[in-house]
Chain A
Amino acid sequence: MFYREAGEFKTSYAADQAIFPIPQDRWFVLGLVGVAFLVLPWIVNDYWTNSILLPFLVYALAAIGLNILTGYCGQLSLGTGAFLAVGGYSFYKLTTAFPDLNILLAMMLSGGITAGVGMLFGLPSLRIKGFYLAVATLAAQFFIIWLFYKVPWFYNYNATGQITVPPREFLGVLITGPEGVNWAKYLYTLTIVAVMALVAKNLARSAVGRSWMAIRDMDIAAELIGIRPLQAKLSAFGVSSFYIGVAGALMFAVYLGAAESGETFGIQQSFDVLFMIIIGGLGTILGSFLGAGFLVLLPIALELVLVEGLGMHTGFAEQVKFILLGSLIIFFLIVEPHGLARLWQIGKEKLRLWPFPH
């Protein structure tokens, strides 16, 4: 009744190509972004910033990155952890070697370095396909993690190989380090994620994005209609790794503050981010956010309910949480195998007809 397209007339190409063609959608999203930018920074405390908002944003960005590669271009990657590590360590090296370097610039450079590494490990994708391609990215995962342990240059020759971020400012406000200001950390990350999500959305709708999807849907056919697999695949690896690299820099510098290659960026990360995009919805930007929300926020919420609400002992609650989480994943897959984003879309269709379904 309230939510429909009837009466909406598009009078220009620009209106027709808008990301959210339906005004209700547009206002809803704008409202959400508005709350995120204008309201949340005033009310966040340590717990909300460090345990909920930052991990959610950082993982959402990593998920967008992986979604570009796996969701849009169809190339399976299990190397996300390693690419996050490249981003994190690059940022560490850059910011300790050039203390005066603007951290935003340093993060973009870290993304650039990661993009190079990603493209290198993306080369085998020209020959190997499907699940088999996982081996190339897995090789990257284990090799890079090992490298960051073995070459002391990466962690400035300290005793153990742990890296700790030095305090750095952005526009005069302390962002990194233990005394980083909560609202600034949050706003800084949110801005990067929002801008990059917007870029990703538009990239996916551009010629490049279409060539990725053509490769995903059937690479031989794509080749026949004149899309170059080399360019399409490598550009997907490059862009994807850039996103993941920035996410890695944010994860290390803003969210965690210290990192150790195997523990922070291990193989589990690769699986986690992959699961986020599958549960969220492959090939959608919205899905990346929903998936990150599902796997970052749901465990925290479950634990809150089980421990604080029902008074379970923490160890037992953790085990129950595992069972619930697993069951919920299966439940959502059965309800909607194409991910939460699709569920959202179906919800919208239903809403369009409401309250007169026939």
Chain B
Amino acid sequence: MLFFVEVVISGLTAGVMYALVALGFVLIFKASGVFNFAQGVLALFAGLTLHGLLTGTVPFVHTVNPAWAMPAWLAILTTIAIMILLAIVWERLVLANLVNQEHIILFMATLGLAYVLEGAGDIIWGSDVKVLDLGLPQGASDYFLDTFNLYVEKLELFAAATAGVLVVVLALFFNKTRIGRALRAVADDHQAALSVGISLRTIWVIVWSVAGIVALVAGIMWGAKSGIQFSLSLIALKALPVLILGGFTSIPGAIVGGLIIGVGEKIAEVYMGPYVGGAIENWFAYMLALVFLLFRPQGLFGEKIIERV
């Protein structure tokens, strides 16, 4: 029984980690209908930048001795500024030229972005494994382990708390601020939003900036787990079933979807895996999402699809 609780807890925490990545997808999809293939690479790029700033690596000549040491808060703020800058450049150079194109074309453009950032991240910061030392809690929680013999990872509790805060902030941002209302208007209907004087381009910059910041959070959490390295860009694959299950447009959907997928795949792997040879987590997540989708084709929290001729 205790073991079952452990499996569920680890599923929940893993789910939160997936949801952190999925959130970035949702933000961009909601406001612009773009499936952002580069979200994983964004997380990698943000993580690399943060690490570089923290340790004082000189860009492009990452091999020279550290040039400065930045306090963590300043490094994070600078990274956020860089992610915003990136969003502005991306909007000016690319999105502005692709207004009104089909979604699949914009999807393809994000592949281009992924390639560019992959190459640029390597050239600027080097491609070895980087240890991100932000003083985040690590290892198992002694309290739970000693008192209840329950294994809970501290980092993941911290990630869950961060995700909670993030969702609350995003919800407030979307519901209570002027920009948030404008964002929702754009999400509902591009043309109607334009006609009442909302600038689509500003909105895009904001959305991509916020997605960049969410990517930074995901990069920090996953980077603390495994060190910051190229593989970080592959976490997007773990976010896909979460995204599909939760619905592409719903922020709570990303969280709930993450929890369902996390718990589902852990239970499957631990209790079903041994009978079929293990490593079933990956496909099980998609099968689970598929089953849910057969009942709700628009995802758990997706907007209802209304079809007209």
A: which residues have CB within 8 A of B? 76, 124, 127-129, 131-132, 134-136, 138-139, 141-143, 146, 149-150, 218, 220-221, 224, 267, 271, 275, 278-279, 282, 316, 318-323, 325-330, 333-334, 337-338
Contact = CB atoms under 8 A, between A and B. Distances in A.
B186 to A, nearest CB: 19
A151 to B, nearest CB: 9
A338 B122 CA distance: 31
Interface string B230-268: 000000010011001100100000000000000000000
A322 B123 CA distance: 11
B108 A278 contact: yes
B111 A275 contact: yes
Q: Is the interface of B mostly helix, strand, loop or mixed?
A: helix
A274 to B, nearest CB: 9
A145 to B, nearest CB: 8
B187 interface: no
A135 B98 contact: no
Given A150-B277, A267-B237, A278 B105 contact: yes
A333 B305 contact: no
B290 A135 contact: yes
Nearest to B104: A278
Contacts of A127: 293-294, 297
Given A134-B244, A267-B237, A326-B111, 5 more contacts: A76-B104, A135-B245, A143-B286, A325-B112, A329-B112
Contacts of A322: 115-116, 118-119, 122
30 contacts: A124-B293, A127-B294, A129-B297, A131-B248, A132-B244, A135-B245, A135-B289, A138-B241, A139-B283, A141-B286, A142-B282, A143-B283, A143-B287, A146-B280, A146-B282, A149-B279, A220-B309, A278-B104, A279-B108, A318-B119, A319-B119, A322-B119, A326-B112, A326-B116, A326-B118, A329-B109, A329-B112, A329-B115, A330-B94, A333-B105
B45 interface: no
Given A138-B240, A278-B108, A337-B105, A319 B309 contact: no
A224 B308 CA distance: 12
Nearest to B123: A319
B112 A327 contact: yes
Given A128-B294, A129-B297, A326 B115 contact: yes
A124 B101 CA distance: 28
Contacts, number: 133
A147 B119 CA distance: 34
B200 to A, nearest CB: 17
A326 B114 contact: yes
Given A132-B297, A135-B244, A278-B105, A316 B123 contact: yes
Interface residues of B, number: 51
B115 A323 contact: yes
Given A146-B280, A326-B116, A333 B123 contact: no
Contacts of B279: 146, 149-150
Given A129-B297, A131-B248, A337 B305 contact: no
Given A124-B290, A139-B287, A218 B116 contact: no
Contact of A337 (B35, B98, B123, B277): B98
Nearest to B113: A326
A255 B162 CA distance: 49
Contacts of A134: 240, 244
B275 to A, nearest CB: 11
B298 interface: yes
- Name the 10 nearest CB pairs between A and B, nearest first: A326-B115, A322-B119, A142-B283, A326-B116, A139-B286, A329-B112, A330-B112, A323-B119, A143-B283, A326-B112
A56 to B, nearest CB: 20
A298 B94 CA distance: 21
A146 B107 CA distance: 27
Contacts of A136: 290, 293
A263 to B, nearest CB: 14
